[in-house]
Amino acid sequence: MTDVAVQWAGNNWAGNYTYGATVLHRPTSLAQLQEIVSTAPRLRVLGSRHSFTDIADSAELVSLEAMTDGDLVVAPDRRTVTVDAGLRYGELAGALAEEGLALHNLASLPHISVAGAVATATHGSGVGNGNLATAVAALELVTSSGEIVRAARGDADFDGLVVGLGALGAVTRITLDVEPAFDVQQRVFESLPWSALYEHLGEITSAGYSVSLFTLFGGDVDMVWVKSRTDAAGHPEGELFGAVEATGERHPIPGIDPTPATAQLGSPGLWSDRLPHFRMGFTPSNGDEIQSEYLLPRRHAVQAIEAVRSLGHRIRPLLQTCEIRTIAADQLWMSTAYGEPAIAFHLTWVQAQPAVEELLVELEGVLLPLGARPHWGKLFLAGAAELAPRYAHHADFVDLVQRLDPRGAFGNAWLDRHVLGNA
């Protein structure tokens, strides 16, 4: 054991998974990390622990926190910044604000690490917005031989390296596309009739830069959250296809105190204070929850909504909220939006995992035939045999795993079950 390793026991953010790992390494330098990674029989990098399964588990874990500071290297053309991979988006946003720069999008919460989010194809919303991994212009990782691999967009294998599922090595530095900072205003519209959604789905999901629909599968869609850039024209106000603008602040989960939610009611603010639903410094979402999410080709959107609604009576007792979002297509091999624009169904469940898993059998029964790809960081059941054909570069990714990690140090039970098919 290296001198930076400690005996460890821990669980994920939601508390629904206790890691089996008993050793946590906290290297303070790249050289230490190289030594740890090249000698551990089996290990994984732990991000901010916001995934809902054993995806980040192994015999040993390594945290990059002690190798992470908030320093940005801004490229001379100011189009990219390079950061430590363990940085959280909230910290990154603060550093970008000082430079007058912005990312194109954020997830619902700023608490997650950049490397962990990118590894699982974490996304926000917006018909024109790719997931957070699409902002990666270059990265550096330490493979299980201790070698440092650097790759940039356009290089061989780059499209396979980015959404790496933690299986390729320890990502240490990430270069991200940035743009000049912009302001966003957020408005919430309530009680959208389902018929209006079916008829005007494209217009509603394009009503702002980033649009999220929240529903409990009752008589209508409970809320439409529209985040509009103030430098773009045409912000809906007052009414949206029959939904009425809320007169007070809302939380994405109906009935919860909206204090942790980002400001609404049309007040303009910095991109990073409006694009997430939750504010740094507060518990995001509910905290007492499990999440699942399925991304489908957007051409099947109405069929998919109807399929999920058909299970509404089964879903509702376990559901805290369902969020429907859109994601632009990309070319990253293991991205859940690979090759086609996607519509995503996110489900925040109550903490009742056995019942949720029973229901996921039914949900996947209706969504997998429509081409669903489960979010890699959330709870799902589908195995490698079902998922592999949904990824045109699945075989290339497996080959990349074998080339970069021939001794399987970054392998784990999750990877065997859902990607490699060794389970």
Residues that bind ligand FAD (CB under 6 A): 13-14, 44-51, 55-56, 64, 85-86, 107-109, 112-113, 115-117, 119-120, 122-123, 165-166, 170-171, 284-285, 291, 375, 377
**Residue 125 C-beta: closest distance to ligand FAD, Å:** 8
Smallest gap from residue 21 Cβ to ligand FAD (A): 11
**How far lies 77's CA from each of 73, 83, 135, in Å?**
12, 16, 16
Q: Closer to ligand FAD by CB, 112 or 359: give it.
A: 112
Rounded to an integer, what distance in angstroms lies between the CA atom of residue 143 and that of residue 413? 19
Shortest Cβ distance from residue 289 to ligand FAD (Å)? Answer: 7
- Using an 8 Å Cβ cutoff, are 144 and 169 in contact? yes
If the CB atoms of residues 82 and 113 are measured against ligand FAD, the closer one turns out to be 113
Q: Are strands 60-63 and 43-46 parallel, antiparallel or unpaired?
A: parallel
Let me know: does 60 contact 26? Beta carbons within 8 Å. Answer: no
Quick one: 361 exposed, middle or buried, by C-beta within 10 A (0-12, 13-18, 19+)? exposed
Least distance from ligand FAD to the Cβ atom of residue 304, Å: 17
CA of residue 289 relative to chain centroid, distance: 16
Q: 170 and 64 in contact (C-beta within 8 Å)?
A: yes
Residue 183 token pair: 């302001």
Q: Which is nearer to ligand FAD, 64 or 196 (CB)?
A: 64
* H-helix segments, 150-233: 158-161, 194-205
- Distance between CA atoms of residues 389 and 345, nearest Å: 21
Closest CA to 272 of 116, 103, 70, 72: 103
Query: Of the two residues 196 and 419, which places its CB atom closer to ligand FAD in the complex?
Result: 419
* Pick 188 or 196: Cβ nearer ligand FAD: 188
Closest distance between ligand FAD and the C-beta of residue 247, in Å?
26
Q: Which is nearer to ligand FAD, 108 or 129 (CB)?
A: 108
The DSSP bridge partners found for residue 203 are: none
Q: Which residue has the tokens 């997931």?
A: 131
CB of 70 to ligand FAD, least distance (A): 16
Residue whose Cβ sits closest to ligand FAD: 116
Nearest approach in angstroms of CB 23 to ligand FAD is: 15
In the complex, least distance from residue 216 CB atom to ligand FAD, rounded to whole angstroms: 18
Nearer CB in complex with ligand FAD: 341/377: 377
Task: Look at residues 43, 68, 44, 53 and name the one whose alpha carbon lies nearest to residue 11.
Answer: 53
Q: Give the residue among 86, 87, 84, 8 at the shortest CA–CA distance from 46.
A: 86
Q: What does the DSSP 8-state code read for residue 88?
A: B
CB of 291 to ligand FAD, least distance (A): 6
The answer to whether the beta carbons of residues 410 and 44 sit under 8 Å apart is yes
Q: What is the DSSP string of 352-418?
A: -HHHHHHHHHHHHHHHGGGT-EE-TTS-----HHHHGGG-TTHHHHHHHHHHH-TT-TT--HHHIII
Pairwise CA distance, residues 67 & 29, whole Å:
6
Q: How far is the CB of 313 from ligand FAD (least distance, A)?
A: 26
Dihedral pair phi/psi, residue 400, rounded to 5°: -65, -45
Terminal Cα-to-Cα distance of the chain (whole angstroms): 29
- φ/ψ of 31, rounded to 5, equals -60, -40
- Considering the complex, what minimum distance in angstroms separates the CB of residue 290 from ligand FAD? 9
Closer residue to ligand FAD in complex, CB, 80/125: 125
Beta bridge partners of 244: 190, 239
